[in-house]
Amino acid sequence: MTIIRAGLVGVTGYTGMELTRLLAGHPNMRLVRATSRTEAGRPLSDIYPFLRGLPGGDVVMTAPDPDDLADNCDVAFLAVPHGAAMEMGATLRERGLRVVDLSADFRLRDPDVYEAWYKVPHTRRAELPQAVYGLPELYGDAVKKAALVANPGCYPTATILGLYAALKHGLVETDGIVVDAKSGATGAGRKAAVGTLFCEVSDTFRAYNIGKHRHTPEIEQELSAIAGKSMVVSFNPHLLPVNRGILTTIYARLAKPVSPQDVQAAFEQTWKGARWVRVLPAGQLPETRHVRGTMFCDVGVVTDQRTGRLVILSAIDNLCRGASGQAVANANLMFGLPVETGLMLAPLMP
Amino acid sequence: MTIIRAGLVGVTGYTGMELTRLLAGHPNMRLVRATSRTEAGRPLSDIYPFLRGLPGGDVVMTAPDPDDLADNCDVAFLAVPHGAAMEMGATLRERGLRVVDLSADFRLRDPDVYEAWYKVPHTRRAELPQAVYGLPELYGDAVKKAALVANPGCYPTATILGLYAALKHGLVETDGIVVDAKSGATGAGRKAAVGTLFCEVSDTFRAYNIGKHRHTPEIEQELSAIAGKSMVVSFNPHLLPVNRGILTTIYARLAKPVSPQDVQAAFEQTWKGARWVRVLPAGQLPETRHVRGTMFCDVGVVTDQRTGRLVILSAIDNLCRGASGQAVANANLMFGLPVETGLMLAPLMP
Amino acid sequence: MTIIRAGLVGVTGYTGMELTRLLAGHPNMRLVRATSRTEAGRPLSDIYPFLRGLPGGDVVMTAPDPDDLADNCDVAFLAVPHGAAMEMGATLRERGLRVVDLSADFRLRDPDVYEAWYKVPHTRRAELPQAVYGLPELYGDAVKKAALVANPGCYPTATILGLYAALKHGLVETDGIVVDAKSGATGAGRKAAVGTLFCEVSDTFRAYNIGKHRHTPEIEQELSAIAGKSMVVSFNPHLLPVNRGILTTIYARLAKPVSPQDVQAAFEQTWKGARWVRVLPAGQLPETRHVRGTMFCDVGVVTDQRTGRLVILSAIDNLCRGASGQAVANANLMFGLPVETGLMLAPLMP
Amino acid sequence: MTIIRAGLVGVTGYTGMELTRLLAGHPNMRLVRATSRTEAGRPLSDIYPFLRGLPGGDVVMTAPDPDDLADNCDVAFLAVPHGAAMEMGATLRERGLRVVDLSADFRLRDPDVYEAWYKVPHTRRAELPQAVYGLPELYGDAVKKAALVANPGCYPTATILGLYAALKHGLVETDGIVVDAKSGATGAGRKAAVGTLFCEVSDTFRAYNIGKHRHTPEIEQELSAIAGKSMVVSFNPHLLPVNRGILTTIYARLAKPVSPQDVQAAFEQTWKGARWVRVLPAGQLPETRHVRGTMFCDVGVVTDQRTGRLVILSAIDNLCRGASGQAVANANLMFGLPVETGLMLAPLMP
């Protein structure tokens, strides 16, 4: 049995933490390096006591060192902030590692758009064309041949999978789409900050970055590719007092009169046989907990004839499907493993 | 000092509980009757230990009896399910009590619309024209003269106050409006049910009644009155894992090119001097906790020129502003008290 | 590869739900029957949408029928209330099934003690001596030969594993022990009840059944067996606003002067090589999330020389380790599988 | 009507925030100064949007300046960390202000004990004898004449009020008492820190500082004063995933055979007529939500004859009763107002 040696660059954030969880249960991939400037020298189980006694728990953290990673790993997962991943990703590529970048640095095909939204220069424009957007359902074949995967953002994953069937079947107008998205607090990261303290998030609810979240151009890039024409989307995120989970409620105008049954059938037919996209029966709506800790994307659709609207709801786990699980799926593909290897987890309920 | 004697019909639900809290601190209104078929004979502090030692805590619950209420109360608050309030409200009116009905039974001017959405016959059509829709900011003068007040629903309160300025100033198209609403779990009531157990609501998020919630016709009725033309709205509620609070995110197409500054000014001018509607400074967005336990409605507005949309956010406490506090405000008005009497509470933070 | 056919009697509670989750990922055990009187005829994924697409999700629920279970299953898990399990367990035994009973019906060796605490007659006293108390670390060898396993209670599991090393090494006095236990709300079951509604459990904390919880005699029975003398324990549970997890804080008087280092060493030596009991390094204290969804029992110990007390803390997942996961471990043992088969899950963090 | 001008030194923490909430509703006290080095120049409503439109919301924050405070305030509330309050408190006293210090700096009568537990030198030993320990039920008369009040800690408030009746009546042995305390996360403060992020506190439970929390000597000092002999207590705190609230579960050995009825009577008699200490009827146990946002301390007592133990439970709101509300009560007393002025709030339920 092949064992792929994995290096994790940036282990102290939530996506890094989630990668350690998933790799602890992966039959063909083993965590051999985990980097942290501040925690170098300590075993992982010191900062993550939940890993004690599990594969990976004994890995001693190291400062990030491309040479060391290149010498010891087959694949590197970059769980560092945007901007920081750019150089590290390109460097590790040059050393021959396969790279899955969980940041936004290689997601946008147009570096000018990247710079406009992320406010940092893109210093690795030459590598951009090689990067494959790692949404397995859409780009799985390309990922298999890729050396550098740009792992999709959490909101884009939920939004694209939610809208895909409607766009493919021409059920909705491509203009005027509104995405009202709600995310758990792991999406805000693991940095010390007053705004994400327990007492500032618990028992409350708020929107943020209305109309200007950085995932907007990523969503528009991919929806435009699916629709075959340029799309502008109103994307509006909110912060939920839960740890994990994204629910998107997507509003689109029906392109033509259509029955709820036909809409339901179009969705079911599109995703027939899909491993992780579960189209719910008519009348059921997704819940974030039903996908907790997994790769599932649950999709429900309501044809509201009274208002002429299609309302699509999609739910994912932002950390697993929306980040680290999807990264492992992409690594599976890059190394010729079945995409679901180590990832057919049952949701933790409740 | 006048003391108004209040009777509370239906004390075991969350709106009943909230009324006991508010009346415990009201300087001019005193709880003298609290009805419950199942708990009759016990003092309120038995089922609500938080009331021990506070005004109202010693009130002994009684079975609902119109005669007894008529003999001992000046005003009755009906905190019973729709359908049940209809007869009780009309009966108590006939006995001369002022009545604030927290159910939906007298909110919709057209009883046929009521029957279509609520699936029960309206048996008191004659009383409907007398009922005043108790949103103080819009109908305060009428409430002062009313004998029967239909207390607004929680979602309609948040939605109407959010949209009012935009409609009044003609900033948005009246068709195609989408309301994505999120409510705390007290909105689901205090009946024993598996679906609202702690473990079924905690750490998750879901939508419900997409496109078919009963507050829809109430919202449309009032928005149409404001806009001066018939409006159809896509209203879509979600369940938050918090106790209290509603946040609505309202999407409307801009009717004409307008600067964010002008939109902000229009909102601020509309609500200048308002006691409870707080238009947030440009760039700030409302949070449910900032209005917790109070009558405030916080409104934030974002002019999204990229998508040609106005995004309005409004936050209320669904139990206080969206139900029991608004009921007390209406009773204040009916008895000639300043509307804010006993209701200028500071939010519990955090 | 052997596949063991499992029947689940009582699928609609939280321990039933947890069994469906664990069996969905078990390589050698397959759910073939799931009983529910109210839901018979529907596939499991109808009531548990999280199971859609996973092993077991398609199982059609049936009314409980011993003949059908005997014909189709190798092992039955009884996830029904105490009292109800007694007859069903004995009946299924008579038909030759191996039985793991998650209720309390076969845990107490003395049926009079059972009747005194549970207030129901014990109608299967003859079967009691055959039942093995299924705590794998203590009774694993007996379980391997057992036909009927009494699966331990959640609180007893956490308490016994926490105290075991201290009693074995004679570190503490056996009288005067206080167990202050805190459990997540899944411990309260999935019955519709006002007291466990989200809004009655969220954002609050309370004790219940102080000094009279039914797990007390079970704890005393097992601790007495370990200590070799009769023990009386003060056991006091509390309800946490979390879904899963038990933390016990155990207070015992030091039996003799001892250094913290020696205490730590005694605990580490006792559990050296244990798969699931993780003694934390000196200075670390357990957290419920670190064992979420798993079989781990994390144990921390503080020697408080100032007060002459040993303070032991133990954390488990009440649903997995404290019920369904332990049941699967026992079934593994009964069928000759490694105890950890299908159960080496990494905790969901955060 | 007298208006007392209040200065708040340190407004950005949770006790500062709570003081702004309580002063916004106080009929005789007005917030005129609020200090923050980092936020000086901004109105309070900028950082606390919940205060918009309420008394105090317009106060412009200033850097802490004893001269300015002395010129404009009658009383100063010190809501700064221990160590920092010492000099500020003494300085403001010298300028003639009445001072309520919410930190620990003047709570311990023996400065050597202070230094041993708090690890900072006590530089104002001369002022210590003047400071009055501001627990109104015990020291109300002394507070009336005090110029400097040491506002009690949150855990000591709950513990002392819980144990007072038992010690006064000699019901329990004074040695061997165990206090198992659980607090909401506001108790951990409002500093940016990974350990108190939402995702690190939500859906989990843990102990901290077992046997070595700094409130221990304060508890022992006051219990010893009540009992009339030196007491050593095992005090052990835990962190709850709630915003507000402390529940203590206190274990003590019965000093003599006594009936539950007599114990209950002793507790009720001790607190008869008390405004805020509510002894619950036999069989009821306190919950943190029943005192949320208030000055109440709910006390329940269980006489466990089986184990020879008294189990006392007490619940307070750590921010209101355990800090800022108690501070306002003390200021009320210092200025000759009824102690409950502005503080007879009904709990927010749920």
Q: How far from the centroid of its chain's Cα atoms is residue B22's Cα?
A: 14
In single-letter form, the type of residue at position C87 comes to E
What are phi and psi for residue C165, nearest 5 degrees? -65, -40
Whether C1 shows a pLDDT value over 90: the answer reads: no
Candidates B242, B332, B349; CA nearest to B293 is B349
CA-based nearest residue to C199, from B292, B192, D350:
D350
DSSP H helix total and E strand total for chain A: 11, 13
**Is residue A123 helix, strand or coil?**
coil
Q: Is B128 helix (H, G, I), strand (E, B) or coil?
A: helix
Count of CB atoms within 10 A of residue D192's CB? 13
Does residue A89 contact residue A105 with C-beta atoms inside 8 Å?
yes
Residues of A marked as catalytic: 154
Mean pLDDT of residues grouped by 10 in chain B (350 residues)?
94 98 98 97 98 98 97 97 94 96 98 97 95 98 98 98 98 98 97 97 98 98 98 98 98 97 98 97 98 98 98 98 98 98 97
Question: What is the rounded CA–CA span in Å between residue B197 and residue B192?
Answer: 8
Average pLDDT value for residue range A40-56: 98
One-letter amino acid of B270: T
Q: Give yes or no for A200 touching D (CB within 8 A).
A: yes
Which chain D residue is nearest to residue B289, measuring alpha carbons? D50
At D49, list the tokens.
């949007």
Residues 6+ apart with CB under 8 A from B112: none
- Closest CB from B185, B197, B241 relative to C196: B197
| Planar angle of CA B155, B156, B161, nearest 5 degrees | 110
Q: Which among B24, B202, B287 has the least Cβ separation from residue D346?
A: B24
Q: Between residues 202 and 231 of chain B, which touch chain C (CB distance below 8 Å)? A: 202-203
Q: Flag if A348 and C24 touch (Cβ within 8 Å).
A: no
Q: Which residue of A has its CA nearest to D197?
A: A197
Across the interface, of D199, D240, D302, the residue whose CB is closest to C205 is: D240
Tokens of C350: 């955060």
Residue A277 has pLDDT above 80, yes or no: yes
Q: What DSSP state is assigned to residue A185? A: G
**Cα B56 to Cα B22: distance, rounded to the nearest angstrom:** 10
Which class is domain C4-130? alpha beta
Rounded Cα gap, residues C150 and C106, in angstroms: 5
Please give the pLDDT value at position C2. 83
Q: Which of C285, C251, C279, C228 is nearest to C172 (CA)?
A: C251
Mean pLDDT of A189-197: 97
Q: Taking every pair of C-alpha atoms in chain D, what is the biggest distance, in angstroms?
A: 63
Half-sphere exposure of B302 (CA within 13 A, CB side): 22
Contact C232, C175 (CB under 8 A): yes
Domain ranges in chain D are 4-130, 155-318
Q: Which amino acid is at C79?
A: A
Of D184, D198, D203, the CB nearest to A201: D198
Residues in chain A closer than 8 A to C202 (CB atoms): 203
C236 vs C213, C229, D121, D248, CA distance in Å? 7, 22, 40, 12
Q: Which of B47, B186, B197, B203 to mutate to test the interface with C (most CBs of C within 10 A)?
A: B197
Query: Residue D2 — very low, low, confident or very high, per pLDDT cuts 50/70/90?
Result: confident
Amino acid C22: pLDDT: 98
Instruction: Categorize the per-residue pLDDT at A97 as very low, low, confident or very high, splitting at 50, 70 and 90.
Output: very high
**Using CA atoms, how far apart are residues D333 and D326, in angstroms rounded to an integer?**
11
Asked if C267 and C279 count as a contact pair (C-beta separation under 8 A), the reply is: yes
What value does the mean pLDDT of chain D take?
97
From residue B49, give the alpha-carbon distance in Å to each of B20, C9, D137, D260: 12, 39, 21, 21
Burial grade of B119 (CB within 10 A; 0-12, 13-18, 19 or more) = exposed
β A233-239/D29-35 pair status:
unpaired
In this prediction, residue B2 carries a pLDDT of: 83
Where does residue B156 rank: exposed (0-12), middle (13-18), buried (19+ CB within 10 A)?
A: buried
* Cα–Cα nearest to B161, from B281, B263, B277: B277
State whether CATH 3.30.70.100 applies to domain B155-318.
no
C1 touches chain B (CB under 8 A): no
Our CA-based measurement puts residue A244 at a distance from the nearest CA of chain D, in whole angstroms, of 9
Q: Name the DSSP letter for residue A306.
A: T
- Is a pLDDT exceeding 80 seen at residue A216? yes
User: What is the pLDDT averaged over residues A313-331?
Assistant: 98
- The per-residue DSSP string of C154-165 comes to HHHHHHHHHHHH
Beta strand spans in D91-198 (E) = 98-101, 132-133, 148-150, 177-183
- C-alpha distance from A41 to closest chain C C-alpha (Å): 17
Contact present, A118 and A154 (Cβ < 8 Å): no
Q: Do B196 and C194 touch (CB under 8 A)?
A: no
pLDDT tens sequence across C288-326: 999 999 999 999 999 999 999 999 999 999 999 999 999
With beta carbons under 8 A apart, name residues in chain B contacting C350.
none
| Mean pLDDT within A90-114 | 97
- Phi first, then psi: give them for residue A304, nearest 5 degrees: -100, 90
Per-residue pLDDT, D285: 98
Distances in Å between the alpha carbon of D348 and those of B245, B323, D52, D239, D339? Answer: 13, 15, 20, 21, 21
SS3 A62: strand
Size of interface C-D (CB pairs under 8 A): 134
Burial D244-259 (b: 16+ CB within 10 A, else e): bbbbbbbbbbbeeebe
Rounded distance between C-alpha atoms, residue A18 and residue A243, angstroms: 12
Give CA–CA dist D31/D75, Å, rounded.
10
Say whether B25 sits in a helix, a strand or coil. Answer: coil
- Asked whether the predicted pLDDT for residue D142 surpasses 90, the reply is yes
